[in-house]
């Protein structure tokens, strides 16, 4: 490293957020600067295979120097042999699982292997980047245990803010899905295929999903924060220990049925598979890859076209296996009344999602749900970044807040829920209410608020985006919030049942209930009001 001359200005660092998506076969690292519109994948010599992609490999032998290698360094050192006792791979699935339940043998425990990989990533971050916030992804089915493991590791990482987000939510956001969506997430990974039917937090009248902060301003939030667990709800899930590497083995075995499947041969089969996955390649065009055995110097030519690749996949009963796990997942969703027609989309991620015949199978089996194609490898990391650049501590309401409204059907005043206890604040989106007049030539509307610690008995139905109350909370549950009522002048006066005012309610970072609005008849804006403190 060159020495800076006297009087030279210090190097200006780029401030931003780092996302790490630890995967079974590939770990993705992405960065987004505070002034950047789009994230970018990071090159971390010497552990990245390509920009942003690190093989999830750890090699550890206490009797050697160096005794620890991570990612691409393991590949370059030719240590990826199938029978290498010091190689730890496919360990992520076992992190957070009690040791007694781990069915595979590892030279070091899976949690230690994951820790070694994450620490290596942090140490390799370019010096010109200043990480103000770190966001990590976690599987939804073992969220709490995995989160606890991440907390232990992150305790020594020098970063002010650390957040976590569950993988299905990150994949959905990375694919451009909206809060409140139900979707099918199909992850075609290197060693497993996992299909999950999930419902993403949020939607109309509900808080949108955000990353969960576990450290803020350098302080641990595990005890002091009242954040609630808000990851995606799994409606159905199934998987199989079969992935992209197994497809590589099928290809290599198809071409060289009598040969031992070495790592060099498998790597060449993988390259051939990836090239044949390009839609622009004609199905009958034969592609060639070369595999060279370093010890003997012998070279092998791998020749295949897409038609042959598809025959290999069909012959090895890949689609029978996919049919079974998809049907199991959809059956879980049907228990919750969720059908394919209810899905906002099908999100396919992972390298295997690029194989044309797999994509065709998935589209056909999931019709009529829209088929989405985010970047297959980095979708989760990009989604995690999208959930965190503006993240703030989200506290929860201890009391529900209601607005007194005139109900045309019952011809009496009712209490309409604005924000319910347990919802987070500050709110990312406001709640919109349309109010109508209740009497002839009404010249003003009075805004009266109530609060309660219970949610009461009510159901809110949204029609064209407008909430409609079907029943109200019991009057005994509510108390009118002290303070002078707000009167909104109506000019011209309104008539009974005439929609006249649209109001938008939100809660700011100081827990103040903010009201803005517009007169629907004249377009005149209503003066912004801060009505009360809600927490």
Parallel, antiparallel or unpaired: strands 371-372 and 345-349: parallel
What tens digit of pLDDT does each residue of 48-69 get?
A: 999 999 999 999 998 888 899 9
Average pLDDT, the chain: 80
Alpha-carbon torsion angle 172, 459, 236, 174, nearest 10:
0
Residue 128: how many other CB atoms lie within 10 Å: 9
SS3 116: helix
pLDDT at residue 303, rounded to an integer:
94
Of the two residues 528 and 224, the one the predictor is more confident about is 528
Written as one string, the DSSP assignment of 446-462 is EE-EEEESS--S-EEEE
Q: Place 118 in a pLDDT band, splitting at 50, 70 and 90.
A: very high
* Domain ranges (residues) in the chain: 244-315, 395-533
Q: Which residue has the tokens 């020098």?
A: 158
pLDDT at residue 239, rounded to an integer:
77
Is residue 371 predicted with pLDDT exceeding 60? yes
pLDDT at residue 223, rounded to an integer:
44
Give the span between the Cα atoms of 335 and 340, in whole angstroms.
13
> Is the bond into 117 cis (omega within 30 degrees of 0)?
no
What tens digit of pLDDT does each residue of 425-471 get?
A: 777 677 888 888 888 899 988 888 888 744 333 332 333 322 222 33
pLDDT at residue 73, rounded to an integer:
95
* Percent of the chain's residues with pLDDT above 70: 81
pLDDT at residue 471, rounded to an integer:
37
pLDDT at residue 393, rounded to an integer:
40
Q: Place 473 in a pLDDT band, splitting at 50, 70 and 90.
A: very low
Q: Which residues contact 65 (CB under 8 A, 6 or more apart)?
A: none
pLDDT at residue 529, rounded to an integer:
84
Burial of 313 (0-12, 13-18, 19+ CB in 10 A): buried
CATH architecture of 244-315: Alpha-Beta Complex (3.90)
* Percent of the chain's residues with pLDDT above 90: 26
Lowest average pLDDT, out of 126-135, 297-306, 362-371, 481-490, goes to: 481-490
What tens digit of pLDDT does each residue of 194-236 get?
A: 888 888 766 544 545 555 666 555 555 554 444 444 456 778 8
pLDDT at residue 132, rounded to an integer:
87
pLDDT at residue 232, rounded to an integer:
61
Average pLDDT of the segment spanning 248-257: 90
pLDDT at residue 472, rounded to an integer:
39
Is residue 392 predicted with pLDDT exceeding 50? no
Q: Which residues contact 487 (CB under 8 A, 6 or more apart)?
A: 444, 445, 446, 447
Average pLDDT of the segment spanning 349-364: 91
Residue 123: how many other CB atoms lie within 10 Å: 10
Residue 481 structure tokens:
């919030």
Cα atoms in the Cβ-side hemisphere of radius 13 Å centred on 417: 29
Is residue 485 predicted with pLDDT exceeding 50? yes
What tens digit of pLDDT does each residue of 5-42 get?
A: 455 555 688 999 999 999 888 899 999 988 888 889 99
Is residue 386 predicted with pLDDT exceeding 90? no
Domain 395-533 in the same topology as domain 244-315: no
Contact 514, 508 (CB under 8 A): yes
**CATH fold group of domain 395-533:** Substrate Binding Domain Of DNAk; Chain A, domain 1 (2.60.34)
What tens digit of pLDDT does each residue of 432-444 get?
A: 888 888 888 999 8
Average pLDDT of the segment spanning 134-156: 81
């Amino acid at each position: 490293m060159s020495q800076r001359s006297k009087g030279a200005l210090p190097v200006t660092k780029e401030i931003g957020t780092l996302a790490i998506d630890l995967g079974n076969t590939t770990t993705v690292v992405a960065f987004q600067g505070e002034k950047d519109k789009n994230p970018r994948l990071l090159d971390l010599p010497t552990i990245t295979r390509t920009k942003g992609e690190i093989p999830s490999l750890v090699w550890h032998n206490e009797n050697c120097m160096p005794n620890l290698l991570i990612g691409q360094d393991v590949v370059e050192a030719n240590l990826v042999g199938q029978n290498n006792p010091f190689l730890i791979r496919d360990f992520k699935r076992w992190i957070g699982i009690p040791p007694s339940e781990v069915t595979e043998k590892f030279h070091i425990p899976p949690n230690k292997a994951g820790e070694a990989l994450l620490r290596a990533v942090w140490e390799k971050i370019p010096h010109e980047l200043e990480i103000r916030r770190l966001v990590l992804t976690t599987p939804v089915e073992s969220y709490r245990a995995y989160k606890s493991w991440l907390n232990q590791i992150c305790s020594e990482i020098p970063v002010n803010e650390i957040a976590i987000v569950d993988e299905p939510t990150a994949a959905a956001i990375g694919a451009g899905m909206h809060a409140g969506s139900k979707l099918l997430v199909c992850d075609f990974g290197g060693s497993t295929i996992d299909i999950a039917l999930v419902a993403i937090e949020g939607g109309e009248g509900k808080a949108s999903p955000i990353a969960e902060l576990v450290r803020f301003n350098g302080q641990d939030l595990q005890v002091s924060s009242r954040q609630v667990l808000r990851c995606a709800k799994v409606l159905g899930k199934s998987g199989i220990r079969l992935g992209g590497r197994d497809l590589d083995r099928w290809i290599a075995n198809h071409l060289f049925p009598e040969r031992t499947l070495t790592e060099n041969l498998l790597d060449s089969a993988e390259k051939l598979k990836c090239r044949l996955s390009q839609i622009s390649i004609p199905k009958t065009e034969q592609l060639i890859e070369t595999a060279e055995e370093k010890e003997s110097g012998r070279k092998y030519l791998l020749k295949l076209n897409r038609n042959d690749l598809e025959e290999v996949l069909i012959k090895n009963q890949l689609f029978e296996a996919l049919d079974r796990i998809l049907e199991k997942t959809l059956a879980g969703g049907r228990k919750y009344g969720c059908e394919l027609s209810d899905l906002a989309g099908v999100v396919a991620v992972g390298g295997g999602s690029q194989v044309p015949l797999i994509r065709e199978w998935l589209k056909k089996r999931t019709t009529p749900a829209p088929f989405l194609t985010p970047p297959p490898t980095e979708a989760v990391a990009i989604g995690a970044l999208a959930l965190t650049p503006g993240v703030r501590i989200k506290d929860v309401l201890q009391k529900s807040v209601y607005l007194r409204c005139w109900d045309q059907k019952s011809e009496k005043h009712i209490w309409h829920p604005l924000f319910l206890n347990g919802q987070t604040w500050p709110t990312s989106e406001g709640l919109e209410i349309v109010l109508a007049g209740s009497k002839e030539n009404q010249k003003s509307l009075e805004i009266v608020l109530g609060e309660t610690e219970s949610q009461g008995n009510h159901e809110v139905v949204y029609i064209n985006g407008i909430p409609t109350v079907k029943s109200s909370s019991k009057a005994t549950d509510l108390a009118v919030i002290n303070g002078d009522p707000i009167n909104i002048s109506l000019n011209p006066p309104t008539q009974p049942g005439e929609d006249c005012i649209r109001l938008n309610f939100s809660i700011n970072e100081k827990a103040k209930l903010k009201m803005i609005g517009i007169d629907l008849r004249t377009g005149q804006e209503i003066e912004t009001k801060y009505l009360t403190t809600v927490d």
